[in-house]
Amino acid sequence: MIRELTPEEFQETICENMRLLPDDDDTCVNIPLVSYVEECIGVHDMQVDVDDVEFHYAYMNDVKKMCHVGLNFGDAHLYLVVVVDVAAGKILGHTVLDLTRLND
C-alpha cells in the first residue's frame, strides 16, 4: 500500500546533513522500491512503464535514519521521491516533487 505524504510530513523527513549517496550504496537494497513505484504509477496515472523510470539520486541523513530516493519519469522537472525509514526498514511514503513549483 502506498502513502502520499503531506507537504508537512515530507518536510519533517528532511534533515540537516543530508548527503548524496554513491551509486553503489546498498542501504535500501532490501526495500521493495520497485513494487512501491509500480503502485505509484497506477495511482498517479503516470504514462510510463516501471522499466523506464530513472533512478536519479538518494540522499540520507548522517545518522542513517531517513533516505530520499529520487526517481524521474521523463520530465526533467518532475520527480517521485520515495522516503525510506532506514531504521525501521520500510517505506514511509512518497511525494511528487515538481521542481518548477519549488518557489511558489
- State the CATH number of the domain containing residue 86: 3.10.450
Cell 546533513, residue located: 17
For residue 56, the one-letter residue type is H
Average pLDDT of the chain, as a whole number: 89
Domain total of the chain:
1
Mean pLDDT over 81-87 rounds to: 94
Q: Which of 85, 27, 77, 53 is nearest to 96 (CA)?
A: 77
Q: Is position 1 within any domain?
A: no
Range of the domain at 20: 7-101
* Burial class for 50, CB neighbours closer than 10 Å (0-12, 13-18, 19+): middle
For residue 68, the one-letter residue type is H
Contact by Cβ (8 Å): 65, 55:
no
Q: Is position 50 within any domain?
A: yes
* pLDDT attached to residue 62: 78
pLDDT in tens, 28-71: 888 999 999 999 998 988 888 888 899 999 999 877 789 999 99
Q: Is position 21 within any domain?
A: yes
Q: Which of 69, 63, 57 is nearest to 87 (CA)?
A: 63
Q: Is position 84 within any domain?
A: yes
* pLDDT attached to residue 23: 86
Q: Is position 79 within any domain?
A: yes
